Amino acid sequence: MSDDPFPPGFVWGAATASYQIEGAVGADGRGESIWDRFAHTPGRVADGDTGDVACDHYHRYREDVALMADLGLDAYRFSVAWPRIVPDGTGSVNAAGLDFYDRLVDELCARGIAPHATLYHWDLPQALEDAGGWPARATAEAFARYADVVARRIGDRTATLATINEPWCPSYLGYRVGVHAPGRTEPAASLAAAHHLLVAHGLAMQAIRAAAPGTPAGIVLNFEPKRPATTHPLDLEAAIVEHDQFNRWFLDPVTGLDYPEAGARAWGWRREEVLPGDMALAAAPIDFLGVNYYTSRTVRSPLLPPLDDAGAPTERTSQGWEVHPEGLTEALELVWSRTGDVSLYVTENGAAYDAADDDRTRDPERVSYLRRHVEAARTAIGRGVPLKGFFVWSLFDNFEWHEGYAHRFGIVDVDFETQERRVRDSGRYWASLAAAQRAAAA
Ligand code: IFM
């Protein structure tokens, strides 16, 4: 591995999201979110887990920021819970909710940690879902108002503001496959949701520009390079369709291109919800694009007999996700091909591994995973990618959506009985990497 320093000013951070860590779901006027409803519906989340308490970060944010300072993080990426700010999605603004993020941002700034806020990391107010959810255009309009409120309050102190995190997940997993909230399995609604998430992004960009003109604003997308299983033309075709539907579906419109053709054709999409002006809205100029990367996927055409890959020597995390560090370089180069000089961040990268019974802070696999992905990011920079920072997912073990608390992503171990936090070896690795890189750049 190379010892070359990353570019001066490169940001080393850690990321979390509101519903995954905050808990305090009934505190201070917060409204119900689709994840509250979903998690409390029997059979939806493994072991009946919910985010009711999670890491109790809402009450412990001061200690948590102190821990970030101990780790020497340059930056912290968090998300704002929409139902804390506008509890029913469209009605009055909840001052106590805004106050919480105001205090959090102040605490971070006081400790010299740059706050990077995301406005939507999937906790839609339930009242908006009851009115149609993301398949309804009105949800995008409600989001713009919420973006304005948040940007006005904290945008003066945030290092960046991202509109939406991984729109593929709420649209595809939430409305097509139904494993995420709101648990709907409606293909047409899923495509409408995907489009309205981009409309919401565009409207929110306008709101942020007006309310916090000096704050870099952008969006966060997830990427998963697709490899055809064989050179059979049907495998090649299947990989292209998945690449379009996953990697290009949001990236292309955000960067001024149309929805990718092969993916749209395979979905039989009729574009009925695309109104004049929408594509220009989706392509609002951005200051940065966040890249979330975890894994790559080998694609086999459903028209060919399945391949028996049992026993293949593929390295996987405890969730079964393939470990493929080169895929991060590929994802960054793909994005760069569309974004040019726009700043990129790795806004999420990390892995779930089971904690050892004897010592929950020993996590050699996670250290190795992170080291190799940091190298992959370095390779991308060497090829010219304007990468400005790297946020590990996640600062804490947390609520991993429909998989509950079974999978641990934290560089800090959380005991969910006692709320004790203990820094793992990966946390120490991240701290020493950040410190060494800062020293080298000084
Ligand atoms: O936990 C999630 C996060 O909320 C979004 N990106 C992927 C992570 C791991 O699954």
pLDDT tens-digit profile of 245-298?
999 999 999 999 999 999 999 999 999 999 999 999 999 999 999 999 999 999
Tell me, yes or no, whether 185 lies in a domain.
yes
Task: Report the pLDDT averaged over residues 51-69.
Answer: 98
As a whole number, mean pLDDT of residues 356-371 equals 95
Q: How many domains does the chain divide into?
A: 1
- Helix count (H) and strand count (E) of the chain? 16, 12
Pick from 118, 152, 167: which is nearest to 20 by CA? 118
What lies within 8 Å, CB to CB, of 19 at 6+ separation is 33, 35, 51, 54, 81, 121, 122, 123, 399
Q: What is the pLDDT of residue 279?
A: 98
Find the 232 Cα to ligand 1 centroid distance in Å.
33
Indicate if 107 belongs to the active site.
Answer: no
Radius of gyration of the chain (CA): 21
Q: State in Å: Cα 400 to ligand 1 middle.
A: 7
Half-sphere exposure of 245 (CA within 13 A, CB side): 23
Ligand 1 center from residue 270 Cα (angstroms): 30
Identify whether 238 is part of a domain. Answer: yes
How do residues 79-138 score in pLDDT, each as one tens digit?
A: 999 999 999 999 999 999 999 999 999 999 999 999 999 999 999 999 999 999 999 999
pLDDT in tens, 106-117: 999 999 999 999
Question: How many other C-beta atoms can be found within 10 angstroms of the C-beta atom of residue 67?
Answer: 19
Q: Is the CB of 400 under 6 A from ligand 1?
A: yes
For ligand 1, atom 4, which residue shows the shortest CA distance? Answer: 17
Choose the catalytic residue: 166, 224, 330, 400.
166
- 266 in a domain, yes or no? yes
Q: Please say whether the beta carbons of 80 and 163 come within 8 A.
A: no
Residue 101 lies in a domain: yes
CB 78 within 8 A of CB 395: no
CATH at residue 63: 3.20.20.80
Mutate to test the pocket of ligand 1, among 33, 120, 122, 166 (most ligand atoms within 8 A of CB): 166
Question: Does the beta carbon of 224 sit less than 6 angstroms from any atom of ligand 1?
Answer: no
Q: What is the DSSP track for 215-260?
A: S-EEEEEEE--EEESSS-HHHHHHHHHHIIIIIITTHHHHTTPPPP
Residue 428 above 90 pLDDT? Answer: yes
- Say if ligand 1 is within 6 A of residue 17 CB: yes
Distance CA 148, CA 400 (A): 29
Q: Does residue 417 form part of some domain?
A: yes
User: 312: CA distance to ligand 1 center in Å?
Assistant: 26
Q: Is the CB of 173 under 6 A from ligand 1?
A: no
Q: Is 260 left (phi over 0), alpha (psi -120 to 50) or beta?
A: beta
194 CB near ligand 1 (under 6 Å): no
Identify the pLDDT of residue 308: 80
The predicted model gives 342-366 an average pLDDT of 96
Q: Is 32 a catalytic residue?
A: no
- As a whole number of angstroms, the distance between CA 23 and CA 58 comes to 6
Cβ-based neighbour number of residue 58 at 10 Å: 21
**C-alpha dihedral, 223 to 227 to 229 to 234, nearest 10°:** 90
Is 1 part of any domain?
Answer: no
Q: Enumerate residues 6+ apart whose C-beta is below 8 A from 88.
A: 31, 125, 127, 128
Dist. CA 168 → ligand 1 center (Å):
12
230-261: b (≥16 Cβ within 10 Å) or e: eeeeebebbbbbbbbbbbbbbbbbbbeeebbe
pLDDT reported for residue 1: 58
Burial 197-225 (b: 16+ CB within 10 A, else e): bbbbbbbbbebbbebbeebbbbbbbbbbb
User: What is the spatial distance between Cα 391 and Cα 409, in angstroms, rounded to a whole number?
Assistant: 13
Q: What is the mean pLDDT of the chain?
A: 97
H or E stretch at 116 = strand 114-120
Please report how many Cα atoms fall inside a 13 Å half-sphere around the Cα of residue 188, on the Cβ side. 5
Q: Which of 22, 107, 224, 348 is catalytic?
A: 348
Closest ligand 1 atom, residue 394 Cα: 1
Q: How far does residue 166's CA lie from ligand 1's centre (Å)?
A: 9
CB 19 within 8 Å of CB 35: yes
Domain that holds residue 171: 11-441
Atom 2 in ligand 1: residue holding the nearest Cα: 400
Proportion of the chain above pLDDT 70, given as a percent: 98
User: Considering the entire predicted model, what is its pTM?
Assistant: 0.98
pLDDT exceeds 90 at position 144: yes
CB atoms within 10 A of CB 25: 24
Only one residue has tokens 């990236």, namely 251
